[in-house]
Amino acid sequence: MTATPSDEFDTLRITPRRARAHSRLVHLMRWLLPAAIVGILAVLGVFVGQDALHSAAAKPKDAPTQIRMVNPHFLGRDDQGRAFNLAARQARRDDADMQQVYLDAPVMEMDVDGQHPSTLTADNGVYREDTRILKLTGHVRVDDSKASTVATDEAIVDTRAGTINGHASIAASGPAGAIQGGSYTASDKGDHLILRGGVHAQLKAR
């Protein structure tokens, strides 16, 4: 088929128009493609960041390392020079307060070198090394060389002053009889005992 002069004129007229359209398309694609890539990378970054946050939240925190001691012994003397010995089945320091030590099955021996030592036992104890105060709880029992026994649920021992007191009820028995009270304070190795609240006593005649 032979092209007529009018056909050639139409071809020449359409070609520049198509060229301009193609140029605009290329220019638009050059702008859109980088923008699309940046958008995709931004979306991926958001997803990765959220996944990392969720993973960090779901991950269990490492437990702080506790300092544990097996069969520990604490030795010392009170203000009057009397020796005491504090032992336990196991002990562990407080992670937030290194001066505080938790004791399992503590045993406190007071006036170890004296003629009348006494022994305190309990289920649990807390000893502060800065104040040297020992708090015993749970089935607290005191035994001394005079065949006297004391039972209570709480005993606060000031190892510096050599005193013991508690806000729990107390029951004591010995060669002289038996006494009960709501709270107590003991000093001078138990030779002086002050009872408060509901005090009852049964004394044996000598």
pLDDT in tens, 87-126: 999 999 888 888 999 999 999 998 888 888 889 999 999 9
Do 179 and 88 fall into the same domain?
A: yes
| Count of structural domains, the chain | 2
Domain that holds residue 3: 1-61
Question: 101 or 150: whose pLDDT is higher?
Answer: 101
What value does the mean pLDDT take over residues 179-185?
Answer: 86
| Domain match, 194 and 96 both | yes
pLDDT at 91: 93
Per the CB < 8 A criterion, the answer to whether 89 and 69 are in contact is: no
Torsion of CA 174, 88, 133, 137, to 10 degrees: -60
Please give the mean pLDDT across all residues of the chain: 79
Q: Examine the fold and report which residue of 61, 76, 97 is the final residue of a domain before the chain moves on.
A: 61
Q: Residues 86, 135: one domain?
A: yes
More confident: 179 or 58: 179
Same domain for 18 and 73, yes or no, is: no
Instruction: Say whether both 96 and 168 belong to one domain.
Output: yes
Q: Which tokens belong to 115?
A: 């003629």
Whole-structure pTM value: 0.64
- The H or E element that residue 53 is part of is helix 5-58
